[in-house]
Amino acid sequence: MRIVVALGGNALQAEGKPATAESQLEVVKETVIYLADMIEKGHELIIAHGNGPQVGRLVIQNEYASKVTPAMPFDVCGAMSQGMIGYHIQQALKDELKRRDINKEVSSIVTQVVVDKNDKGFQNPTKPIGPFYTEEESKALEKEKGYIMVEDAGRGYRRVVASPAPERIVELNTVKALVNEGQVVITVGGGGIPVVEDQQGFLHGVAAVIDKDFASEKLAEDLDADMLLILTAVDRVAINFGKPNQENLPVMNIKDAEKYISEGQFAPGSMLPKVRAAVKFASSKKGRKTLIASLDKAKDALVGKSGTIVEQ
């Protein structure tokens, strides 16, 4: 199958480990084992990933160092995080494939994604970035920095920024050419660098983070993928999550998924965008499916032993 894989935060950074480049690379080296397993089975992978914690830290670094060197704008920080994460994935995955005697090239594409400058996301920031804070710390940041801080799924408080919908992947033809050559391509990292298009067709970066699940869905449609595989920290999508009557779902059709969304079953900062992206891809063409699964059970999920399938 041609599979677009959307890697969640747990694929890049381990909870409780230091937020260093070295620590991230060690986590990525473990992550690519699961990706290589799928490649070894003959699947054609195109890899996307998030960047919320990484771009948040880059912004903080820029702000604190602004008295020494000019701070980079938000879109540039997004590009920096995309390059850094792509570098780690392509290096680690290439090495893992080499260990298995699989001769396959791995490439990262610094990818821009066009958004609408009038997207309602700019008026209602919802995308969490950066580290988690206590309620006291978040109030101090709101007062000192003017950040918009929200509670994120019971895990603490995080800064949120605009999250406009992806409209067009600028480097799509480049991605297609590499995929058709048999390469494993890492693209739309962090949802892609958000840009707007002026009346002359020129592009300009904007301060936002596109949700990686929606960007991955757009990519999967554009590449006519067979499956969108959203890898996260839980084995299956659940309703009544964390309650005594929690129910893990092996299969979810579009009608039921939309019902659960309307009931508020899924947390906005975590599972909600995954389910919405899953529904959009499964609805886009007959036979397309989305699989939401945990990273370490990805291989089992592909044969129906784990994960949640979203289908028509």
- The residues carrying an active-site annotation are 9-10, 127, 212, 274
As a whole number of angstroms, the distance between CA 271 and CA 214 comes to 12
> Tokens in use for 143?
């007062």
Alpha-helical runs (H) found in the chain: 21-40, 52-64, 74-99, 135-145, 172-180, 212-222, 254-262, 271-284, 298-302
User: Rounded to whole angstroms, how far apart are CA atoms 228 and 2?
Assistant: 9
Dist. CA 214–CA 201, nearest whole Å? 23
Q: Which residue's entry shows tokens 């392509």?
A: 90
Calpha distance 157→135 (Å, rounded) = 6
Write out the two tokens for 269: 């900062």
Non-local (6+) Cβ contacts of 273 within 8 A are 211, 213, 214
